[in-house]
Structure formats: C-alpha cells, structure tokens
C-alpha cells in the first residue's frame, strides 16, 4: 500500500535460512478496510513495475490476495505460512512445526515442576480457530487433557480427569489448552476469554488468558494446587526447525515456478509429500480443523 520496497537481491536474502520471523516486516493491515486501499496497491503495482505478487501468510493475508486477484485482476500466487496450520488444501503450513516444537519443549520442562511439586500445570498455546498446536504438542508432550476449540470438554470433565489420575497415584497433571477454546461448565455456562474486546482489521479479538481462568477453576473444584503458563509469542519466534526450513524452501521454489507458469490465483500446497498448486479459493474457503480421529487418538491418553 505504501510502495515501500526492499529489493530481494542475493545479498539481502543471504543468511536468512536459520532466521525466524520475516525480513520484510508484517502487519495486520487489511487494505479492503481503507477507503482507497486496493486502489493504492494497484497504483503502486503499476508505477513500480511489479509483475506479480507472492503473498505469504495465513487466512487473512491470502484472503486479501484472493480478492486482489478476483476483483482487481492482480497477478498473485500464495504461500501458506501460519503457526496455526488451519489453512485448507495443504497438509501443513510453515511455522507450525516450529511452534509445536517450542510448545512440546515447554511441556517437557513443565513436567519437572508438575511432578516434583505435585501440581496441576495448565499450558496455554496459540490456536485461534483450530487446536493443531495443542493436539500435536499435547500428544508429543504426554498431556493428560487437551482442550481445543473443535471438541469441547467441560471444566468438570477436565477436573474428573485430574482426579482420576490422583486416584491412580499420579498427583500431578499437565493440561494443554488452545487460546481459542471456550470454557464450558456442565451447567451450560460458556465463556470466551479474551485479552481485550478490541478487534483487528479482520475482526479478530485478541485472545489469551483462557488458561488462567481454567487453572483457577481446576483449583477451586479439585482443591489441587494449579499453575498456568501462557506460551504466547514465544511459540512464534526463534530458530525454525529443519522441517519448517525445508517446507518453506520447497514452497518458495514452487511459488517461483508458479509465477513463471502464470498460475495466478493459486497457492503452493503440501499434499502428502508433494508440493502442488491449488486454487487460493480452496485454501481460504474454510478453516482446516483438527480431524476427530486425531483428537480421539490424543484422548486415549487423557487421565
């Protein structure tokens, strides 16, 4: 929108492979929220001689890219990047594996205090609409209960699991919760915990804090000492895993090929072990949620 360019020559991109984040900078700006947002983009594309836009991001970024293509004929290709892994049409998005790795390591470290102090440890991870990080890190870290937006458990169900473990002599538990999960009580009361009522340009509320409310409730109902750790942006930073670096590299190469082939309005996607071009419309039409089978598998180990 601002025509603020950084030429990505060899010097500029040399050495970025092991870095997290983005050398370009990012924001939650929605050009379609600005009165002349799309027009400014079109003007800049023309004035700066931009042949194609390679949009790298999640549902918001790629949703904007799709509208620029559909409504304004901008030559776009998409690359799926979000730690949430909730884009349809691709098995994985890059960033996700690193977030799962960080969350798993945190759970492993929290096990130490949980076990030595006989405490219930609640770990809140990111995941706005889908519980991918919670399920994968919970499975990898041996969580005793996992609460995600897709498959609600009541607060009392979680307390029952904690008590079931205590009856088996396990006086500690690890509970993983997605920031986007609602709290539900058997009485039917439901609560969405947010940090602020403000919404961003895409209408998203700022999540965070569900773990704290859950921890207080577990302590109130069971009487067991309960602590919470909110991982927050720790999950989004630092050194990417080898798997994420390889996936991002493969997606990057595919994106360049797609530009060469003129495959506009398409996104690079991982299907099995193949990187393919799929319509952007398919990727953003609905969230890719955790399949019931995977959640049930994790559930086998609850309590």
Rule CB under 6 A: say whether 129 interacts with ligand F6P.
Answer: no
Element (H, E) at 296: helix 292-299
CA geometry: angle 168, 171, 173, nearest 5 deg? 100
Residue from the set 68, 83, 137, 139 that interacts with ligand F6P by CB under 6 A: 83
Residue 206, phi-psi category: left (phi > 0), alpha (psi -120 to 50), beta (remainder):
beta
Query: Exposed, middle or buried, 121 (CB in 10 Å: 0-12/13-18/19+)?
Result: buried
Strand bridging mode 274-279 / 266-271: antiparallel
Q: What is the distance in angstroms between the CA of the first residue and the CA of the last residue of the chain?
A: 51
- Reply yes or no on whether 4 is catalytic: no
Q: Which is nearer to ligand F6P, 122 or 162 (CB)?
A: 122
Q: In DSSP terms, which residues pair with 174 in a beta bridge?
A: 121
Distance CA 162, CA 144 (A): 8
What string marks each residue from 203 to 232 as x (binds ligand F6P by CB under 6 A) or -? ---xx-------------------------
Residue from the set 61, 79, 82, 110 that interacts with ligand F6P by CB under 6 A: 82
Rule CB under 6 A: say whether 128 interacts with ligand F6P.
Answer: yes
Rule CB under 6 A: say whether 98 interacts with ligand F6P.
Answer: no
Question: Which of 36, 60, 70, 84 is the catalytic position?
Answer: 84
By CB under 6 A, the residues from 236 to 265 that bind ligand F6P are: 236
Residue from the set 38, 67, 84, 96 that interacts with ligand F6P by CB under 6 A: 84
| Residue ranges in contact with ligand F6P by CB under 6 A | 28, 58, 82-84, 126-128, 179, 206-207, 236
- Which residues are known to be catalytic? 84
């Amino acid at each position: 929108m601002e025509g603020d360019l950084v030429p990505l020559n060899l010097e500029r991109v040399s050495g970025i492979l092991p870095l997290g984040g983005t050398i370009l900078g990012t924001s939650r700006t929605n050009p379609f929220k600005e009165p002349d947002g799309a027009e400014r983009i079109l003007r800049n594309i023309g004035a700066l001689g931009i042949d194609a836009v390679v949009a790298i991001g999640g549902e918001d970024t790629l949703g904007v890219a799709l509208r620029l293509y559909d409504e304004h004929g901008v030559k776009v290709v998409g690359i799926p990047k979000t730690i949430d892994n909730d884009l349809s049409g691709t098995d994985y998005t890059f960033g996700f594996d690193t977030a799962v790795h960080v969350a798993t390591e945190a759970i492993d470290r929290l096990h130490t205090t949980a076990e030595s102090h006989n405490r219930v440890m609640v770990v809140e991870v990111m995941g706005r609409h889908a519980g991918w990080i919670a399920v994968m890190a919970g499975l990898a870290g041996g969580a005793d209960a996992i609460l995600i937006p897709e498959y609600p458990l009541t607060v009392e169900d979680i307390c029952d699991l904690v008590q079931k473990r205590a009856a088996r002599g396990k006086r500690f538990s690890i509970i993983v919760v997605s920031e986007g999960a609602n709290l539900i009580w058997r009485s039917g009361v439901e609560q969405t915990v947010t940090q602020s009522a403000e919404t961003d340009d895409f209408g998203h509320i700022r999540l965070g804090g569900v773990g704290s409310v859950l921890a207080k409730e577990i302590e109130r109902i069971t009487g067991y000492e309960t602590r919470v750790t909110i991982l927050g942006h720790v999950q989004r930073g630092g050194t990417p895993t080898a798997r994420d670096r390889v996936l991002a590299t493969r997606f990057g190469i595919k994106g360049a090929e797609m530009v060469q082939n003129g495959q506009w309005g398409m996104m690079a996607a991982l299907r099995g072990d193949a990187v393919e071009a799929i319509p952007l419309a398919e990727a953003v039409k609905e969230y890719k949620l955790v399949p019931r089978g995977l959640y049930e598998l994790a559930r086998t180990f609850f309590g």
